[in-house]
Structure 1
Amino acid sequence: MNTPHHQSGEPSATNHPLAGKVALVAGATRGGARAIAVELGRAGATVYVTGRTTLDNTSQTNPSAQTIEETAELVSAAGGTGIAVVADHLQADQVQALTERIDKEQGHLDVLVNAVWGGDHLIEHGKKMWEYDLDKGQQILRLGVQTHFITSHYALPLMIRKPGALVVELTDGTEEFNRRYREPFYYDLAKYAPIRMAKALAQEAGEYGCTAVSLTPGFMRTEAVLKMFGVSEENWRDGCKTDPTFAMSETPAYVARAVTALATDPAVSRHNGHSLSAGALAKEYGFTDTDGSSPDPARYFEEFMSTGTAPDPADYR
C-alpha cells in the first residue's frame, strides 16, 4: 500500500510533499474547511481560501466570526502560502473570476475541496417535506449542492490539464450510512448529492487522470458545536454529560489530515469515486487526531443504530 509522508499526527515540519501544488478550499472561513486549508498549507501547498466573511465585510449576525484573511494567515504560518479571495459560490461570475485568477497566477489547480455549506441554521427537524418552508428548503439545496457543482464547473478545466488532480466533495455521512433517511427531506438531499457528484466526476474527470471522492468527518467539535455544548476544546469531555455520544467527537484537524493524506498519496486514484470517512482513512494511512486517538464514529454509530444500545466509545477510538 502506498502511504503519504506522515504516519502519526502532523506532517514533519521539514517535509513539504505538496510544495509546488495549488489547492482551492471553497468555504474555508471556519470549521473543518479552515482546518483542511491549514493542513494543506502545513504540507507546503499554495492554498486559495474563499468565503464571504472578510475583515471589511463581517457577519451581521455574528460580528466575531472568523474571516478568510485569518484563514490565509494560518495557512502561511503553517508553512504554505495562503491566499484569501472573496467569493460567493452561488454566484457563477464570482467563481469564474476566482478560477481565472488561479489560472493566471498559478497556471494549474491540483486539489479542489468543495466544502461550502452554512445551512445549519435552516434545518428544522420534525417537519414533513410538504410542511417545510419551501424557501428554506431550496436554500439548503443551493448551499449544499449548487455551490459544489458551480465550483467544479469552473475549476475542473484547470485540473484536467495533467493527471494527478484531486477533487474532494465534503459531506455528512458515507454512502452506506446515508442509505438511511436523514431527515429533514432537504438535508437528506443536500448531503447525499455530493456522494453522487463524486461518483459522476470520477467517471468524467477520471478520463483525464483526475480523482474524485466524497469525504465525511465524524462528530466534529467545530467552534459552533463547542458553543452549543457549552464547552471549550480544553474541557470538551464535559459535553458527554449532555450527550454521551459526544465521546466519539473529533477535532476539525482529523478530517484535515484525511484530506492531506489523500492529496499526498501517489496512488490516490484507487479511491476514485469512493465514499470515504476520516475514521476509516486514519486506519489506512496511520494519522491520528490531535490527542493521538483514531476515532471511528461511522463504525460506532452503525453499531448504535443497528442495536439500539450505545457501545463503549473507548472501543472505537
Structure 2
Amino acid sequence: MGLRSHYIASRCAAPRTAARRKGLIVNTSSGGAVRYTFNVPFGVQRAGVDKMGKDMAHDLKPFNVAAVVIWPGFIKSEKFLAQPDRVPAPLAKRIMESGESSEFAGRAVVGLAADPAIMEKTGRLHLVAELAQEYGFTDIDGRMPAAPSRI
C-alpha cells in the first residue's frame, strides 16, 4: 500500500480519463498523514497520498477529471479478523466494536462516482463516514460508523 503503488495506478488512469474529458480518481489514506500512527514510513506514505491527490486534482481539473482522497476509519479487514493480536488489545477491541467493513469505503466511491457535482469535491480529502451521511448509505451491517478525527 505504498505511495508508489498509489502513484502508478493513478498515473495509469489519468491519461485515459483525461482523454474522455471526465472521470474520477480515488486514493485512500488515513489520519496517519497528520498524526503519528505505527511508524515514520507509514505516516510519510499517508501524507504523500494526501498531497498527491491534491496536486493531481490541480493538473486534471482542466480535463474535467476529479481526484480525491478518502479516509476510511479503522477497517475490520480479513487480515485483521484473522490476526487481531497483531494490534494492541485496546485498538483491537475498538476495531471489533466500531470498525468499518471494506465495503463501506467502496460505497463511498460509488457515491462519489455518481455525484453530478463531483468537480466541487476534487482536490479534497473526504472522510468515508461523512460521505455516508451526505450520500445516505450505511455499512453492510446497517451501522453508520463515526467519522475519525482529521487531526
State the shift of 1:245 in Å.
5.2
Select the residue among 243, 260, 274 that pairs with 2:124.
274
* 1:169 counterpart = 2:24: no
State the shift of 1:203 in Å.
0.3
Aligned to 1:216: 71
Structure-1-length-normalised TM-score: 0.43
**In structure 1, how many angstroms separate the alpha carbons of the residues matched to 2:12 and 2:22?**
18
State the shift of 1:183 in Å.
4.3
Aligned to 1:255: 105
Contact 1:240–1:247 (Cα < 8 Å) also in 2: no
Which deviations, in whole Å up to 9, do the C-alpha atoms of 1:63-91 show, x marking residues without a partner? Answer: xxxxxxxxxxxxxxxxxxxxxxxxxxxxx
Cα 1:212–1:206 change in 2 (3 A) is same
Show structure 2 runs of 5+ residues with no match: none
Select the residue among 61, 85, 95 that pairs with 1:206.
61
Q: Secondary structure at the match of 2:105?
A: helix
**1:121-136 → structure 2 map (5 Å cutoff):** none
Count of aligned pairs: 148
Structure with higher helix content: 2
Cα 1:191–1:281 change in 2 (3 A) is same
Structure-2-length-normalised TM-score: 0.87
Q: Secondary structure at the match of 1:219?
A: coil
Aligned to 1:193: 48
Contact 1:167–1:212 (Cα < 8 Å) also in 2: yes
**Aligned-residue CA RMSD (Å):** 2.3
Which deviations, in whole Å up to 9, do the C-alpha atoms of 1:25-68 show, x marking residues without a partner? Answer: xxxxxxxxxxxxxxxxxxxxxxxxxxxxxxxxxxxxxxxxxxxx
Query: Greater relative contact order (Cα 8 A, min sep 6): structure 1 or 2?
Result: 2
| Structure exhibiting the larger radius of gyration computed from Cα positions | 1
State the shift of 1:240 in Å.
7.9
Cα 1:242–1:266 change in 2 (3 A) is closer
**1:54-73 → structure 2 map (5 Å cutoff):** none
State the shift of 1:229 in Å.
2.5
Q: Secondary structure at the match of 1:168?
A: strand
**In structure 2, how many angstroms separate the alpha carbons of the residues matched to 1:168 and 1:193?**
14
State the shift of 1:243 in Å.
2.1
* 1:158 counterpart = 2:16: yes
Select the residue among 134, 140, 144 that pairs with 1:290.
140
